[in-house]
Amino acid sequence: MLSGSCLCGKVKYGISGTVGDIVHCHCKTCRKAHGSAFSSVAAVSNVDFKLLCTENLGCFESSPGKNRYFCSNFGTHIYTRREWADHVVLSLIPI
């Protein structure tokens, strides 16, 4: 199982399946959410993505039906979920 967390470790997740291709999104909301020219992300099936610790998990609906999840302590963006999608869009954070 792959695992990851936010900077403070109070939001943790595990991935039991495969991670999709890496994409660099340049949309306006990704640029604003990440404070960068683009956001590096990959898709992970909903059934393969498990939240292990959600103590500081925050959520913001950035557009209708699209929720961005982040650490409310440091602001680390963790993943995005659209209501209709069968996957989450996982933020790829360099370690």
The whole domain housing 75 covers 2-91
- Residues 18-77 have pLDDT tens digits of 999 999 988 888 888 878 888 899 999 999 999 999 999 999 998 999 999 999 998 889
Over pLDDT 70: what percentage of the chain?
98
Prediction pTM value: 0.89
Q: Residue 52 has which token pair?
A: 């292990």
Q: How many domains does the chain have?
A: 1
C-alpha dihedral, 7 to 35 to 52 to 84, nearest 10° = 180
CATH (domain of 77)? 2.170.150.70
The Cα–Cα gap between 92 and 76 comes to 11
